[in-house]
Structure 1
Amino acid sequence: MQTQTAKRTAGRKAVPVDAAIPLEAKLQPTQARAQDTYEVVLATAGEMLREIGFEQLTTNAICQKAGLTPPALYRYFPNKYAILKELGDRLMAAQDEAVLAWIESGGLEGETIEARMAKSLAMHRRIIEITLAFPGGPAIGRALRAIPMLQQLRFDSRDFVAGKFFDAMRSRYPNVSDTRLRVAMRMMVELSYAAMEMVVEEPDRDADLVNHEICLLFALYFESFA
């Protein structure tokens, strides 16, 4: 059965990259020991991203902390950018799958603004939990925003989710043009993730208030569609 990650990446645009910096893993492990090594590299890199950031991260440092030899790492990943791409794909897939499950369980439904807002708030909190639980989650998000060759990963993820929102909302607002509704869904996804990133990266802020205000903003906005 095709996974949600595969569905999300199917048909994805090629990520613009410097030809000298390959981004794909060189080899996918098939044996248990190889899979363990692969996962150790990713987990170690995620934790080091949180501790020292992407600029200071090196493949040699990952090997040293993970207790691996450089050839063991280079068997699977050509460079630290490929490691970050794999981490980013996994984090965004986990976020996207949670949003899709929320949509399918009726997350967009509700008779009142208050009911719809309560469901939206629950979804925001869930995505924040996923990001914080993922090794180096906030640092991965920052790195993907900062590195031009990997920014397309975020764009594709957001477009994918916005498309699912459009499909779910199309019948609710029959008098709204496809063009406007698509723009609205893209705005909702982008601004919602921006709010969640604010909460994740600035823990001193009032998380509940930030989440409440962004959900209220869109609840009132969509009332105008009706």
Structure 2
Amino acid sequence: MPKTTARKTASSTAPDIALDAKLQPTQARGQDTYEIVLSTAGELLGEYGFEQLSTNAICKRAGLTPPALYRYFPNKYAILKALGDRLMKAQDDAVFAWIEAGGFDGATARERIDKNVVMLTEMIEMTRRFPGGAAIGRALRAVPMLQQLRFASRDMVADRFVEFMRERFPQVSEARLRIAMRMTVELTYAATEMAVEEPDRDADALIREVCLLFDRYFETIADAP
């Protein structure tokens, strides 16, 4: 796979910023170092945020030398991308498993809402458990060169949603259905981030309100012009 880089503006003379890991470890020692870098970076992200994160701080906290870190990652952006890839994949896999288990099914509004609550609750708990999960989400929104990672995850999940909803709403145009699914995924991200970033708020109430919103929306989507 080609290396991913982010270009500066045309007037900038700064080099492209590589976003991919330089090397994937194949031996146990290398795998340990790779995982230590990522877990330590996640901890520091949660404590200080992305702007204060540096490769030197990671090395100091993890007890690694800079060459050990740079063997695998060219910069802190590549580390964040690796963390973002993992978090997005874990979330996506959980959503796909929920779909396959009948997450979209439900004879009554209460049953559908309860199933949606299960899925959204899992998204929130997964993000809370992930080292630096909330900070990773903020950074993926704020760092332009990494926003595409979140967009790609959103679009992949939305496409899967469309596959299931197409049969349920054959009278709704493909274009409108895709917009609705992208909006649904974005609102799910937003609700997850609200619950994770404001732990003192009533997350359960937030989750149920969002799921109620989804159910009412899809009850009327076929009738709207």
TM over 0.5: yes
SS in 2 for 1:26: coil
Q: Which has the higher contact order (CA 8 A, sep 6+)?
A: 1
TM-score (norm 2): 0.92
Match of 1:88 among 84, 91, 105: 84
Of 99, 104, 108, which aligns to 1:108? 104
Residue 182 (structure 1) aligns with: 178
Provide the aligned length of Structure 1 versus Structure 2.
214
| Aligned match for 2:134, one of 138, 143, 147 | 138
The aligned residue for residue 63 of structure 2 is 67
Q: Residue in 2 aligned with 1:171?
A: 167
Distance in 2 between residues matched to 1:76 and 1:168, nearest whole Å: 40
Q: Residue type matched to 1:90 in 2?
A: R
Judge which range, 197-206 or 72-81, deviates more. Answer: 197-206
Q: Distance in 2 between matches of 1:22 and 1:98?
A: 29
Deviation track 1:23-82 (CA, whole Å, cap 9, x = no partner) reads 110011001100000000000000000011111111011001101000000000000000
**Distance in 2 of aligned mates of 1:220 and 1:52:** 40
Q: Is 2:6–2:16's contact at 8 Å kept on the other side of the alignment?
A: no
Partner of 1:5: none
Q: Deviation string for 1:122-175 (max 9, x for gaps)? A: 000001111011111111111111101000100000001000000011101111
1:21 correspondence with 2:21: no
CA distance in 2, matches of 1:49, 1:117: 34
CA-based RMSD of the aligned residues comes to 1.3
What is the letter of the counterpart of residue 23 of structure 1?
A: L
Tell me, which stretches of 5 or more residues in structure 1 are unaligned? Answer: 1-9
CA distance in 1, matches of 2:199, 2:128: 11
TM-score by length of 1: 0.92
- Identify unmatched segments of 5+ residues in structure 2: 9-14
Specify the alignment match of 2:219 in structure 1.
223
